[in-house]
Structure formats: C-alpha cells, structure tokens
C-alpha cells in the first residue's frame, strides 16, 4: 500500500511540475468583502484530518483546506461524529469551533440515554461572535448538521431551557440559550435536506454504510482503516487499545443504538427523520443559504427508472439502482414518487436542492438572504466526486479545488451587513 501511495504522490507532483494543475495566486481570490473563516463540515461516515492515514475527506490527496489557505482564505476542517445524529453533531461542531467540552444538553442526554458531555476541543481560534462570523460548508449530512447548529445558535432549545428551569442546579450550555448570530452563510453540497430513500429501505442502511466505507477505502488501496474513529463516546463505544478496525466496526454496527433510539444518523438521514428535522430547523433571516445538487444517474429508455452512469463509483451502483426505482405511498409518511429517482448513488437529487419547508430561489448572481439560493446541479458527479474522491482527482487528471475556490470566492464576497446583494 505504501508503494502505491508513493506512486500516486509522485504522479501528482509530476502533473504539477509540468503545469497540468494550474497555479493560482493568492491575490486572485482574496478580493473579498469579509475575511471570515470557512468551516468544512463532514458528512455521514466522514473523518478528521489526522485519520485514515492522512487521506483527506476533503480532497483525498488534494487537501482542499490547505489549498484554500494558500489562496489566502481562513479554512478549518471539523470532525463531527460520522454516524451520530444531527443534534449531537451540531453540539460537537459548536465545541470544535468555539473550544471547550461538548455538551449534548441535559434534557437531550436524559431522553436518549447517553452521556451529557463528550470530548474537549481547543477550538479553531476564530474569536467567534456577532462581529466575527463564520461560513459553514457542509457535504452530505454536513449540510443538515450546519443548519441544525445555526438553528440552535439563533433560537436555542426550549427543551433544554425548560429542563434548566426545573433543575436550577444544572448549567445551561450557551449553545441552547439562543440569540447568537454567529454564522454568515451555509453552503450545502449534495445534502439530504428531505432525507434519502436509501435510509428508508428495510435492511439497506447498514450494508449501505459498509459499502460507502469500502468505496472510500478503494482510494487507499486498503480495506483496513487502521485509523478511523466513529466518535461514539457519548454511547460508551470507544475503540480499544490494539483493537482492529474490523472488530471495532462490528461492535458499532451490532450496537443496540440502531434499534433502540432515533438519536443517530439512521433516523436523521431517512425521509421521515428529515421531515421531523425540518419541522423545527428553519432558515434564519440574517443568514445566506446556498445549495448544490448532483446527479450520476439517467432514466432508462424502456422503464424510465434511473440507472447509474458508467463513471459512478462502483461501490455505489447497488444504492443507485435501489433509489432509482423506489416508490412509496404510505399514510402519514412522505410520498416517494418518480421525482425521487434521480440520485448520486447516496442522496436523491431532488432532496439536495433545499428543505421543502423553506423558500428556494435560483441563484442569479445575486444572493437573497434568509432563503435558499440554488446554485445548480453538477451533472455526472456522484456523491464522492463532490469531495474530490474520484479516480480522476486521485490520479491528477482533474482537481476539485477549483470547485471549492468558487465557493470560497462566493461566500467571502457576501456583504457584512444584512441585506441582499
């Protein structure tokens, strides 16, 4: 594996030396209205910068964070729980940005039966407040998590506040107080705003999760994630010293959390769970929202059901076929019709555009605050392509960094006042 990785690195250096990867000067991308930091928020099964042998969730061997920093932007990468709920992930994201110990909330912890406090983080040193806001960029579930964090910052949690009133000795986390306008913008990339039917299918979720890990492992030429952290400390599930990834992952997938609680990604990623999330997580009037969708399927000639395009990551083919033909019309559940068939191998394309409960407008070179500005569909891109985990990017024939430079340029040109531009 080390030899293969060395060859890849040499190949990338060769492409760069001969000019196939265009050099970019920092000043080309630093003409912005705000210097606010960009926080990258990982999706389902994502990992931190120090995990998976240094292979980056954001860019693989390209390292989007460092490339954007070279361009003059402030960029940080979060590492929230890969299989945790959006609530738990939002609490972790808050602690990672702000610094301090993760507080999942006394009421929430009691309701779901896990520990109230989690890991302690140094913070990103961004002097986070009303005058020093951040931009959140979330891939996949990271978009839901970013929305949840903004909601809690702005409006707090009534449940946590009521719990505090009933238990005066309990300290309330500042996150649950509300009244904090700490986020300038939220940009979501192939996020399941209205859920994914892949999480609805009976018996499909755990196999889907395993397949997605396999799809990522392909780029490492290894199926053994020697350094991968599920970050389930709140549930008492920690990797044991010397434990293999196979043993560790078996304990995770066989845990009762998948059947005993809704406080996991399995519920939040489903169409039912997303509908529940959307009932209380809303757009905020002083935040800019942007979304990209992606599609790597096409309708079949005879049946109309969606089938994967040839370039889709092979580990996602089964998922795409299932999603491309799934229908449902059950009482008191979201209706799944043919409009849900188009997908990127993990998320339904129509779910990526924005929450059905919020106002969505097409972006026409003028962002509207407090609404979802839809930036368009990346046709021919599967779910992993959006973060640079493609064969083309890994071999140096393409560079996902330009996509993220466009996003960085967009959000840092947003005005620092609360008006449309």
What is the distance between the alpha carbons of residues 2 and 22, in angstroms, rounded to a whole number?
27
Residues annotated as catalytic are 140, 344, 383
CA distances 70 to 42, 65, 67, 79, 122, Å, are: 21, 9, 5, 21, 23
CA distances 75 to 52, 65, 335, Å, are: 20, 6, 39
CA distances 291 to 24, 313, 361, 372, Å, are: 25, 23, 10, 7
**Closest by CA position to 412, among listed 328, 306, 288:** 288
Query: Which residue in this structure is represented by tokens 């005005």?
Result: 415
What is the distance between the alpha carbons of residues 342 and 106, in angstroms, rounded to a whole number?
41
Q: Are strands 75-77 and 38-41 parallel, antiparallel or unpaired?
A: parallel
CA distances 337 to 175, 194, 358, Å, are: 38, 14, 20
């Amino acid at each position: 594996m080390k030899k293969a990785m060395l060859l890849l690195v040499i190949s990338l250096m060769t492409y760069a030396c001969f000019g196939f990867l265009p050099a970019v000067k920092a000043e080309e991308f630093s003409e912005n209205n705000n210097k606010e930091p960009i926080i990258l928020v990982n999706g389902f099964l994502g990992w931190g910068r120090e995990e998976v042998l240094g292979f980056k969730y954001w860019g693989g061997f390209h390292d989007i964070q460092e490339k954007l920093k070279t361009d003059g932007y402030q960029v940080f990468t979060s590492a929230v729980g890969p299989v945790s709920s959006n609530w738990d992930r939002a609490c972790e994201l808050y602690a990672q940005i702000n610094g301090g110990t993760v507080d999942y909330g006394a009421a929430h912890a009691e309701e779901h039966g896990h520990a109230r406090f989690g890991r302690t983080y140094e913070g990103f040193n961004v002097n986070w407040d009303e005058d020093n806001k951040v931009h959140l960029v979330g891939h996949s579930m990271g978009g839901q998590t970013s929305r949840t964090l903004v909601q809690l910052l702005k409006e707090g949690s009534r449940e946590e506040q009521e719990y505090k009133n009933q238990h005066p000795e309990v300290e309330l986390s500042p996150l649950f107080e509300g009244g904090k306008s700490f986020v300038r913008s939220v940009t979501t990339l192939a996020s399941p705003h209205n859920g994914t039917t892949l999480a609805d299918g009976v018996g499909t979720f755990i196999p889907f999760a395993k397949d997605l890990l396999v799809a990522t492992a392909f780029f490492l030429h290894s199926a053994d994630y020697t350094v991968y952290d599920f970050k389930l400390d709140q549930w008492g599930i920690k990797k044991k010293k010397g434990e293999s990834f196979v043993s560790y992952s078996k304990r995770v997938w066989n845990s009762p959390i998948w059947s005993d609680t809704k406080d996991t990604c399995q519920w939040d990623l489903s169409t039912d769970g997303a509908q529940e999330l959307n009932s209380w997580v809303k757009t905020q009037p002083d935040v800019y929202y942007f979304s990209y969708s992606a599609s790597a399927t096409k309708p079949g000639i005879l049946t109309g059901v969606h089938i994967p395009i040839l370039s889709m990551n092979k580990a996602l083919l089964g998922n795409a076929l299932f999603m491309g033909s799934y229908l449902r019309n059950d009482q008191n559940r979201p209706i799944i019709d043919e409009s849900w068939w188009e997908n990127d191998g993990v998320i339904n394309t129509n779910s990526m555009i924005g929450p059905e409960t919020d106002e969505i407008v097409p972006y026409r070179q003028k962002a509207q605050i407090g609404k979802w500005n839809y930036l368009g569909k990346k046709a021919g891109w599967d779910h992993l392509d959006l973060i640079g985990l493609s064969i083309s990017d890994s071999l140096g024939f393409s560079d996902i960094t330009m996509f993220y430079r466009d996003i960085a340029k967009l959000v840092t040109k947003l005005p620092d006042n609360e008006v449309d531009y």
